[in-house]
Amino acid sequence: MKLTDFKALTFDVYGTLIDWESGMVAGLKPLTERLPQPLSRDQILEAHARHESTQQRQTPHQHYQALLATVYRRLAENWGVQVSWSECLTYGQSVRHWPAFPDSAGALQYLKQHFKLVVLSNVDNESFSHSNQKLAVDFDAIYTAEDMSSYKPSDRNFEYLLATIGDIGIEKHQILHTAESMFHDMEPANRHGLTCCHIYRRHDQKGFGATMTPATKPSYQFRFHSMAELADAVRAELGG
């Protein structure tokens, strides 16, 4: 099996292309700086993952900006800090400030020459539009949680992908699902029989950071530590 056997790369965005963990930690500073005892980066991220996952499961129709605002309030309650709803809303709108990984835009621009590029993301369309500017590439299709009123790892998101991607001329066996999150992406992609490429951004860190621990050990057919490594592997297969 080769990377160039595929015709489309379907991407998780946040954690894979956008450095959402740095974005979250920065966006939560107005809250975390008020704590009597400092928390480690991973403690902050793991608490966020727990509340975000619960909220996504309980309110799958909730717009992602509103969902993040609710997560901010839950974290404040969890940590015993009083916050206003306007502060919560400010955090809900923070996705527009989350940075891209330094290698994402260049790798995507190269990969666009050889694959259709598709987004399958737990985000709202407005927030993604700001991230897309940072990624500096025109995706062939964009499927968001807002479009399907559902959040990964729900099977609904992958069913939507597979029901819709044929409109751009792609069949299931031509998809390489490319993502960092074992919980949000690798597990459900396995259930739907997709070939997977793991972008292991946290390879030098312990734990799962801003994502929940997966219930199983998902399988994947390719693994790279960055998007740059993936682009280099494609380049090598093509003899360039």
In angstroms and rounded to an integer, the radius of gyration of the C-alpha atoms of the chain is: 18
Range in 66-75, 107-116, 126-135, 195-204 with the lowest mean pLDDT: 195-204
pLDDT of residue 229: 98
Residue 208: band (very low, low, confident or very high) from pLDDT cuts 50, 70, 90:
confident
Q: Span 21-97: which CATH code? A: 1.10.150.750
Is it the case that residue 157 has pLDDT exceeding 90?
yes
pLDDT of residue 215: 79
3-class DSSP state for residue 141?
A: strand
Task: Delimit the domains of the chain by residue range.
Answer: 3-19+99-237, 21-97
pLDDT digits 0-9 by tens, 117-155: 999 999 999 999 999 999 999 999 999 999 999 999 999
Query: Does 3-19+99-237 match 21-97 in CATH topology?
Result: no
Catalytic residue among 12, 19, 124, 185: 12
Determine the Cα–Cα distance for residues 54 and 8; give it in Å rounded to an integer: 31
Q: Within 10 Å of residue 31's Cβ, how many Cβ atoms?
A: 19
Name which of 192, 191, 188, 186 is nearest 221 in CA terms.
186
User: Would residue 147 show up in a list of annotated catalytic residues for this protein?
Assistant: no
Per-chain mean pLDDT for the chain: 95
Is it the case that residue 207 has pLDDT exceeding 80?
no
Q: CA angle at residue 111 from 161 to 160, to 5 degrees?
A: 5
Name which of 175, 140, 25 is nearest 132 in CA terms.
140
pLDDT of residue 239: 87
pLDDT of residue 212: 66
* Residues 93, 99, 105, 111, Cα dihedral to 10°: -70
pLDDT of residue 209: 72
For helices 227-237 and 104-111, the axis angle rounded to 10 degrees is 30
Looking at domain 3-19+99-237, which of 3.40.50.1000, 3.20.10.10, 1.20.200.10, 3.30.565.10 is its CATH number? Answer: 3.40.50.1000
H/E element, 235: helix 227-237
Q: For the residues of 49-94, what is the DSSP string, one character each?
A: HHHHHHHHHH-TTS-HHHHHHHHHHHHHHHHT----HHHHHHHHTG
